[in-house]
Amino acid sequence: MDASSASQIADLCATARHAADAGNLDLAIQCYEKAIALDIALDSKNVSILLEMGNLYAKTGQASLAIQTYNRALQIDPDSGFGWSNLGNVLFGLRNIEIALQCFTHAVRLLPDEWTIRYSLGRALGQIGKANEAVEHLSAACALNPAFLNPAFDDAWIVLGNAYQHSGDWDRAMECFDRALAISPNRAEVHLNRAMVLLNQGNFSDGWREYEYRWETPAFRAYKSRGLGKPRWQGEPLDGKRILLHAEQGFGDAIQFARFIPELSARGAEVFVEAKGPLKELFSELVTPDHIIELGNPLPEFDYDCPLMSLPIPLGLELSSIPNAPYLKVPSKMVDDARSLLTAISPGTRLRVGIVWTGNSSHPWNAMRSVPLAQLAPLGRVKEIQLYSLQREAASAEAEPWPEGSPLALPGESLEGFQRMAAVIQALDLVISIDTAQAHLAGALGKPVWVLLPLFYEWRWHSHLEDSPWYPSARLFRQQTPGEWTRVIQKVAEELQRFASEHRVSNTRIPDLL
């Protein structure tokens, strides 16, 4: 390439960068295209221009054009490590994690000492539950780049800390979060991650305080900005006062923290609860039905407000003081109807066991918490057991075939709405579930529930326990290795056989006592 052509290409790229910085994307793209055409004509195979243009597309949210541009670069130079890495980043942003992983893995082979690529690969591995591999690459990224001490790179310590959590190493996770905190003392995400460790370990006094930083994170900022116009309840006397409680997170969170509603009523408050529609009938058993406000509807007059998951602070909650008696109930007529329905679906005297194996697919950790349906086959082989799907969406129960020869009943529409779901759960003998709303619902009803947990998933299941201080009727079955469910399911199957045998013995003794 002669000096004049090289200078022309450099000038076009410089103009493109300045135009992009000024927001003139059309001019930037035109300049890049001219530079690329000139480069191709000269057969110099300078893929950096294509990568710059692809980065511009990615930065402006034009993922499909970014992918096309990176692919053009890789056609010219299949050994471009940054080409593979940049393509992986766009695919990762589109939640196409598996293909993104392939791109990052290829990029690491080409550029093993490039910290940004190691970081991207580790982050993606963490997303699919491969915690130990994630730790390996994220640790390497931190070691390769001293600039991680710079505030611009505190993300790496957060992601590495998360990977340590998922591998079950809580001490190292906290060390990483503390490193991130030293870099960015006011970054809300760092405090929130520290809260997860503290709460998991039962350090409620520090954990709840750190958990309040959630309001400063992007996920909660919009909710916070509603501006209800009344003071947050900080523990003031409530006798004769009106308080609005609002469920700011998912269904399971709302069900878990609804246990505190009766306490406020006992303090003399007139309690109103704002919640999503599916919870309205369920929570009407806790307060006057017309005091349940569906999210989005006009609010009543009130003196104080408080998010449900902020109540532990003014209530002074400690691990040893969690109110854990069953606190939800369902009208007996609904339970009778549910029992009749289950009998109609599957007549007989076998034990009725509900199962849940996957949750909301939009949940960021759904793949980690979910169990492939086929792996639950040993449960279906336990004698004297009838399994019922408690999946809230019918499609979830039908997406995978249940192993041949193992019965799985589908109650269908009887599961619509949490009150109807609760009635079905009350009509069962046992619930076996991953960590999702149905597990919380069973626990809140006092129904025996066995919760299948990854090695790490949620602070609320306290990784050092096999039972739950939140739900005395719960047993916890945890992975010993990240992503490995086989031994968990085998243990559950053995316990289920024992459960069935004890139930049979109990039933045979009843006539002798009459």
Tell me the per-residue pLDDT of 459-486, one tens digit each, with 9 for 90 and over.
999 988 889 999 999 999 999 887 899 9
pTM of the model: 0.83
pLDDT(120) > 60: yes
Element housing 478 (H / E): strand 474-478
How confident is residue 143, by pLDDT bands cut at 50, 70 and 90?
confident
Mean pLDDT of 21-41: 72
Structure confidence by residue, pLDDT tens digits, 225-234: 677 889 999 9
Confidence check: pLDDT of 512 > 60:
no
- Residue written as tokens 């910085």? 21
Provide mean pLDDT across the span 249-262. 95
The pLDDT value recorded for residue 138 is 92
pLDDT at residue 55 greater than cutoff 70: yes
How confident is the model over 246-257, as a mean pLDDT? 93
Distances in whole angstroms, Cα of residue 329 to Cα of each of 311, 335, 352: 22, 10, 19
Q: Quick one: 298 exposed, middle or buried, by C-beta within 10 A (0-12, 13-18, 19+)?
A: exposed
* Mean pLDDT value of segment 335-341: 94
Percent above pLDDT 70 for the chain: 89
Name the token pair of 32. 């890049």
CB distance 97 to 127 below 8 Å:
yes
User: pLDDT at position 298, please?
Assistant: 92
Does residue 359 carry a pLDDT above 60?
yes
For 102, the 3-state DSSP assignment is helix
Q: Let me know: does 299 contact 238? Beta carbons within 8 Å.
A: no
- Residue 450, classed as helix, strand or coil, is strand
The answer to whether residue 13 scores a pLDDT higher than 90 is: no
Tell me, what's the pLDDT at 400?
A: 63
Residue 2: the pLDDT is: 61
Q: How confident is the model at residue 130 (pLDDT cuts 50, 70, 90)?
A: confident
**In this predicted structure, what is the pLDDT of residue 357?**
94
Structure tokens at 378: 């040993």
The number of beta carbons lying within 10 Å of the beta carbon of residue 72 is 17
Inter-residue contact 242 to 234 (CB < 8 Å): no
Q: What is the pLDDT of residues 415-436, one digit of tens each?
A: 888 999 999 999 999 999 999 9
E strand or H helix that includes residue 23: none
Give the best-scoring range by mean pLDDT among 182-186, 360-364, 440-444. Answer: 440-444
Averaged pLDDT for residues 259-280: 94
Supply the DSSP symbol for 435. S
Q: What is the pLDDT of residues 56-90, one digit of tens each?
A: 888 888 899 899 889 988 998 999 999 999 999 99
Q: Which helix (H) or strand (E) holds 158?
A: helix 154-166
- Residue linked to tokens 């190292």: 172
Please give the mean pLDDT across all residues of the chain.
87
> What is the rounded CA–CA span in Å between residue 103 and residue 209?
40
pLDDT of res. 394? 52
What lies within 8 Å, CB to CB, of 477 at 6+ separation is 450, 451, 452, 453, 488, 491, 492
